[in-house]
Amino acid sequence: MTIKSCRAWLIVGASVVSAASALAQAPNWHSDYNTARREATDKNRPLLVEIATENCYWCRRLESTTLRDPSVVVVLNERFVLLRIDANQNPKLAERLAVQSYPTLVLASQEGKILSFLEGYIETPKLLEELRKAVAPAAGTDAPQWMVRDYQDAAKCIAKRDTSRAIVLLKTIVESDKEIPLRLNAQQMLRQLERQAESRLQNARKAADDGQALDAFDALNDLVRQYAGTPAANEASGMLTSLAAKPEIRERQRARRARELLAQARDELRAEQFLACLEKCELLAASYSDLPEGAAAVQIATDIKSSPDRLRKACASASERSATLHLSLAEMWIKIGRAADAAECLEKVIQLMPDSPYAQLAQLKRAQLSGKAGQLTDFKKQP
């Protein structure tokens, strides 16, 4: 333990010694999030947020025992800003914090960055230890800079519900060999995310067992996407493979893909990206002719092909794409010493896009190949 962490522990310890004078005290809870945040900033104190529900037995027990223990009350009132949230009355905040069970205690810095989650009923010694970690200056300063940064980023990702990114960051910290408070906090946060993933997996299993294959498939997809890297997500991937073989799942996935392609084609039509739009429509017409999206795609393609102005723009896009590919191919020929093949590609660029930046670049490279120009410094740069 460092000198700084010892000092922090002594602060907490001194508070515990004075607990006898706090027998009649109760924690000073706030009920408004913004008020609590302002006080935390003004007093430079971390936050302790209790998220509970009215009908939760373990919430009431936590509040009547551990959170009323004199040693805890003194530390809470002297070192923290307290916020109590009823999840039924403020569901958005509970959802934002990804709370899955009640009660849940959330420790956060005065800036609102999550330090740790404490799920379920917790005994006094364990809570005091967690409070010590939250007020210990050494919790961040003992850690390498990259670890502090990744931990803070993981907390932000959880707040934004980007759990997959948070898992990657937390795993990097947990896999470190440094036995410091920050690593333990990261491990605790990661375990909570893993428990959330496991809960979702159980719900998906139940849906599958009840014959709700489509609901189970969607739930497993969300689980794999949001909790990638957890054991539950790995198991969900195997279940997805099994469910994907069911005819109703295959048809649903096919219909979804057709809708996605048609939506992309319509977006490209609005953006006047007619070549890309035509390619999507041709794919829909060929592969999804039995679906409404296939018929809609045929109509869009017909409208484009009946307009000279739209076709002209599509041809221009095709020429530009071809010119770009020929320039890349010419570069590859040059790298392997096939100058004649490179010159042929460059000539095609000049023919495809005369009087364009592509043609100018091709002419410079062709002149370089014949020794009539200086070295081109950045052939990869697009005009």
pLDDT above 80 (res 2):
no
Question: For 156-200, what is each residue's pLDDT tens digit?
Answer: 888 778 889 999 999 998 988 777 778 888 888 898 899 989 999
> Which range marks the domain in which residue 137 is found?
3-142
Do residues 283 and 334 share a domain? no
Tokens linked to 337: 């010493």
Burial degree of 128 (CB within 10 A; 0-12, 13-18, 19+): buried
pLDDT band at 63 (very low <50, low <70, confident <90, very high): very high
Is 25 part of a structural domain of the chain? yes
Is 327 part of a structural domain of the chain? yes
Calpha distance 152→157 (Å, rounded): 9
Residue type, 67: L
Question: For 203-227, what is each residue's pLDDT tens digit?
Answer: 999 988 888 888 888 899 899 999 9
Q: Which stretch of 6-20, 61-75, 151-165, 280-294 has the lowest confidence by average pLDDT?
A: 6-20
Distances (CA, A) of 329 to 140, 171, 219, 303, 317: 51, 42, 45, 34, 18
Is 210 part of a structural domain of the chain? no
User: What pLDDT is stored for residue 142 in this prediction?
Assistant: 65
Do residues 65 and 33 share a domain? yes
Residues 6+ apart with CB under 8 A from 113: 152, 155, 156
DSSP state of 66: G
Distances (CA, A) of 150 to 145, 226, 270: 9, 18, 41
User: What pLDDT is stored for residue 368 in this prediction?
Assistant: 85
Across the chain, the runs of DSSP E, i.e. the strands, are 29-30, 47-52, 81-86, 104-108, 114-119
Count structural domains, the chain.
3
pLDDT above 80 (res 261):
yes
CA 250 to mean position of chain CA atoms: 28
Asked which of 142, 162, 184 is the last residue of a domain, the reply is 142
Tokens linked to 70: 């004199």
DSSP state of 82: E
Do residues 284 and 348 share a domain? no
User: What pLDDT is stored for residue 10 in this prediction?
Assistant: 41
User: What pLDDT is stored for residue 137 in this prediction?
Assistant: 46
Asked which of 110, 142, 174 is the last residue of a domain, the reply is 142
- Of 307, 281, 305, nearest to 295 by C-alpha is 281
Tell me the average pLDDT across 244-260: 82
Percentage of residues of the chain with pLDDT beyond 70: 89
Q: What angle do CA 338, 344, 348 make, to 5 degrees?
A: 145
CATH code assigned at 81: 3.40.30.10
Strand 104-108 with 114-119, pairing: antiparallel
Do residues 137 and 9 share a domain? yes
Order across the sheet with 29-30: list the strands. 29-30, 81-86, 47-52, 104-108, 114-119
Is 205 part of a structural domain of the chain? no
Is 133 part of a structural domain of the chain? yes
Do residues 285 and 348 share a domain? no
Is 132 part of a structural domain of the chain? yes
Burial degree of 131 (CB within 10 A; 0-12, 13-18, 19+): buried
- Of 260, 274, 268, 265, nearest to 297 by C-alpha is 265
Do residues 33 and 64 share a domain? yes
CA 148 to mean position of chain CA atoms: 19
Tell me the average pLDDT across 333-348: 90
User: What pLDDT is stored for residue 273 in this prediction?
Assistant: 93
Tokens linked to 246: 């069911």
Residues 112 and 48 sit within 8 Å (Cβ to Cβ): no
Is 157 part of a structural domain of the chain? no
User: What pLDDT is stored for residue 111 in this prediction?
Assistant: 73
Tell me the average pLDDT across 255-265: 91
Tokens linked to 278: 């035509």
Is 80 part of a structural domain of the chain? yes
User: What pLDDT is stored for residue 26 in this prediction?
Assistant: 81
Do residues 136 and 9 share a domain? yes
**Mean of the per-residue pLDDT values for the chain?**
83
pLDDT band at 67 (very low <50, low <70, confident <90, very high): very high
pLDDT band at 21 (very low <50, low <70, confident <90, very high): very low
Calpha distance 236→217 (Å, rounded): 9
pLDDT above 60 (res 15):
no
Tokens linked to 272: 């006047």
Residue type, 114: I
pLDDT above 90 (res 113):
no
Q: Which stretch of 92-96, 240-244, 323-327, 370-374 has the lowest confidence by average pLDDT?
A: 370-374
Do residues 277 and 362 share a domain? no
Angle between helices 213-226 and 247-270 (to 10 degrees): 60
User: What pLDDT is stored for residue 241 in this prediction?
Assistant: 85
Rounded to 5 degrees, φ, ψ at 229 are 100, -10
Asked which of 108, 142, 176 is the last residue of a domain, the reply is 142
Residues 6+ apart with CB under 8 A from 91: none
pLDDT band at 16 (very low <50, low <70, confident <90, very high): very low
DSSP state of 245: T
DSSP state of 22: G
Calpha distance 13→75 (Å, rounded): 9
pLDDT band at 136 (very low <50, low <70, confident <90, very high): low
Q: Which residue has the higher pLDDT, 188 or 138?
A: 188
Number of H helices, E strands in the chain: 18, 5
- H or E segment at 181? helix 181-209
